[in-house]
Amino acid sequence: MNPDLRPDEFREFFSELHGLAPFPWQERLAQRVFAEGWPRALDIPTGAGKTAAIDVAVFHLALEATRGAERHAAVRILFVVDRRLVVDDAYERAQMAATKLAEAKEGVLRRVADRLRFLAEDEDHPLAVARLRGGMPKEPDWVRTPAQPTVVVSTVDQVGSRLLFRGYGVSDSMKPIHAGLLGCDTLLLLDEAHLSQPFVQTARDTLIFRKEPWSGNAAAAPFGIVTLSATYAEDTRGEPGEQPFRITDEDRGDPQLGKRLRASKPAELIETKASEAALPGELADKALEFTASIGGGSIVAVVVNRVKRARAIFEALQQKDACPFGEKHSDDVSSPEVALLTGRVRDLDREELLTSLLPFVKVGPRCTPRTRPLIIVATQCIEAGADLDFDALVTEIAPLDCLRQRFGRLNRMGRDINVQAAIIARADQIRKSAEPDPIYGAALGSTWGLLIEKSASQGKGKTARHFIDFGIDRSASWFPDGDTLVKCLAPRKDAPVLLPSAIDFWSRTSPRPAADPEVPLYLHGPESGPPDVEIVWRADLDDDVDEGYKQDLWRECISVCPPSSLEAVSVPISEARRWLRGQPAGELADVEAGIEEPEQRFSSLPWLRWRGKSDEGTKLIRDDLQPGDIIIVPASRG
């Protein structure tokens, strides 16, 4: 049986999957990929459906599934995001596609599924889908067979560490397996790649070692790297590549996409002299001002750069009579509800909140009309992966690319509404003598200067108000390029050049060599800090047991019920060290590899490092916390 499938059937495939036709650019991309292969980069505005790249890759694989050694489409499709996510729409999209393909009885979906079954391990699952947010995958094991068509949604840390033989949370015996699977027959789709330039450079550097003279027996299977970004900038090193794939006037003429592109998003630029302690209250007041102005069931987002600041705004709003979302409140429908979204919570807690919250803020028809305003306080976790739609936006100053992502969630669908927005900056953040921000460097001041320069003013003198339009088409008239753009972007560090000696060291996994190159340096660049660790609390771990028996007893308890990512909190390793030493919480953001502090050796109550029940690395430790560790502590410690 060899079911026929033609490239021109992609439109029908897309329509049957999603119940709507693809945008013109999505169809053009598909035909480009099927005929010539993937472009080096996609420069597509936020809200224009970049995750459709997954659909293109799946259909491409189905087209070529029977070509054997001549196949150019990768079996493993990895969608990689360099953010702590609160909603993972790429994963949900892939999972929906996998379900429809498995259940298809006829038509183009059935023919795509049948062709994928030529490679699949199980006929009931022509397409597997997995999500990696830590060393503990929530879904069934995705590494059982190298031939299974698979979509994996993950982060730079998880994918990059595996590609370089140092998979975070992966046992030493499995590290080469993960490296082999990710380094061969794989397509890497790197979302918002301007945020993860070092990993892009490292991944492309690996291409050199697939050729002579470095490899005498290189795998012939396909391996591709495609960057996706709403704020494209040239690579910071190496030869300039081909021009990125972009939208055209055909897309602007599309009835649905055109509305999104043409929508106006005016924002007021507000400089405040408020202190760090007073800023949360000022942001909260602006959000309340918008809810009162818009009225009814308005949904206002407040987006900031630090988790601690988001929590402070959430508390300030409650003090101003806002009620936590989902709790009982007064009958006064003008009093808003407030919800807090950060990436630094357990998946179990986040999913419980989102189940009731998302119907009100997801793109598309809202299931229940709201009569009471809703304020969503969030961090960078909503900048990517989240198909959310707000009526108004309050954001603190951020680099231009981050602001573009945040405004992509404001009237995302181009509805006919009165949009309101404000960008608020503390005076000490944006003055020329300001200290570089620990996360964003000098980009905050550069961005503010650009916005003021390009803004339209109302009034004169000290009472003048400044406005700038962040609509996709409207911002094209003032959006910078070249060096001016680079200065306004989140800092783009360069990874070290990948040398043969580093690959030689990494390929030795058991035992690891004493001189082991630092993987985080190649994923995030210098001065970026190491990646997260996962913390799990367990009530069945007895802290009072004798120290000599504790390790064996705890290992036995956890082996009966191994940890799941649902119960884990991901935090920067420096923050975990602070917590384990009993020190106050520091500053952290919802980005990969954030602020790092010098490592300090310390003595404390022991915790259990988990690397699998049969791995010698699963043991009690006190001061040897390593990037990617999964640590388990008694719930009695708080």
Q: Residues 366-406: pLDDT tens digits?
A: 555 678 899 999 998 888 777 889 999 999 999 999 999 99
Whether 1 shows a pLDDT value over 60: the answer reads no
Full-prediction pTM beyond 0.95?
no
pLDDT at 437 over 50: yes
The chain-wide mean pLDDT, for the chain, equals 87
Q: What is the pLDDT of residue 377?
A: 97
**Which tens digit of pLDDT belongs to each residue from 319-330?**
998 999 987 666
Say yes or no to pLDDT of 289 above 90: yes
**Nearest Cα residue to 55 out of 47, 45, 63:** 63
pLDDT band at 5 (very low <50, low <70, confident <90, very high): very high
Residue 628's pLDDT is 78
Contact in structure between 464 and 457 (CB atoms under 8 Å): yes
Q: Looking at residue 138, what is its pLDDT?
A: 47
Poorest-pLDDT segment among 341-355, 404-418, 443-457: 341-355
Q: Which of 196, 259, 307, 178 is nearest to 586 (CA)?
A: 307
Three-state SS sequence of 115-130 = HHCCCCCCCCCCCEEE
Q: b/e per residue, 462-495, with b = 16+ CB within 10 A?
A: eeeebebbbbbebbeeebbeeeebbbbbbbbbeb
Residue 390 confidence (pLDDT): 94
Residues 6+ apart with CB under 8 A from 38: 187, 224, 226
Q: Lowest-confidence range among 113-117, 138-142, 154-158, 533-537?
A: 138-142
Segment 597-624 mean pLDDT? 75
pLDDT tens for 139-189 read: 456 778 899 999 999 888 889 999 999 988 788 888 999 999 999 999 999
Mode of pairing for the β-strands spanning 420-426 and 323-324: unpaired
In this model, does residue 67 exceed pLDDT 60? yes
Confidence of residue 125 (pLDDT cuts 50, 70, 90): very high
Residue 189 host element (H or E): strand 186-191
Count CB-CB contacts under 10 A for residue 588.
Answer: 24
The amino acid at residue 233 is A
| CA–CA gap between residue 632 and residue 638 (Å, rounded) | 12
When pLDDT is cut at 50, 70 and 90, the band that residue 615 belongs to is confident
Higher-confidence position of 346 and 103: 103
Residue 264 reports pLDDT greater than 70? yes
Which residue, among 509, 568, 628, 611, has the nearest Cα to 620 in the 3D structure?
611
